[in-house]
């Protein structure tokens, strides 16, 4: 169980990277699309472990995220 909990932030980061690579494309045309997918990925268990910021520049959605190492250390 601990191994799965430790891998959860890593899997979420991989999913967020895939979203970031597709911004403005077929599936992530607007900030609302990105927000919905980010909410789905983070769910109820990851919001404190990753800091995710979405926005919009020149009518194209933007996404940035970073790992909250202190929070991850506390849950381990």
Helix (H) or strand (E) holding 67: strand 60-67
Against a cut of 0.75, is the pTM above it?
Answer: yes
In the chain, the percentage of residues whose pLDDT exceeds 90 is 62
Structure confidence by residue, pLDDT tens digits, 19-52: 999 999 999 999 999 999 999 999 887 778 889 9
Classify the C-alpha dihedral 50-36-54-25 as positive or negative: positive
Q: Residue 1's pLDDT is what?
A: 60
């Amino acid at each position: 169980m601990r191994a799965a909990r430790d891998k959860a932030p890593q899997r979420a980061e991989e999913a967020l990277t895939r979203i970031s690579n597709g911004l403005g494309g077929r599936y992530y045309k607007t900030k609302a699309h990105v927000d919905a997918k980010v909410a789905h990925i983070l769910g109820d268990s990851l919001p404190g472990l990753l800091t995710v910021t979405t926005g919009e520049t020149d009518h194209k959605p933007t996404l940035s995220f970073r790992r909250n190492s202190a929070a991850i250390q506390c849950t381990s």
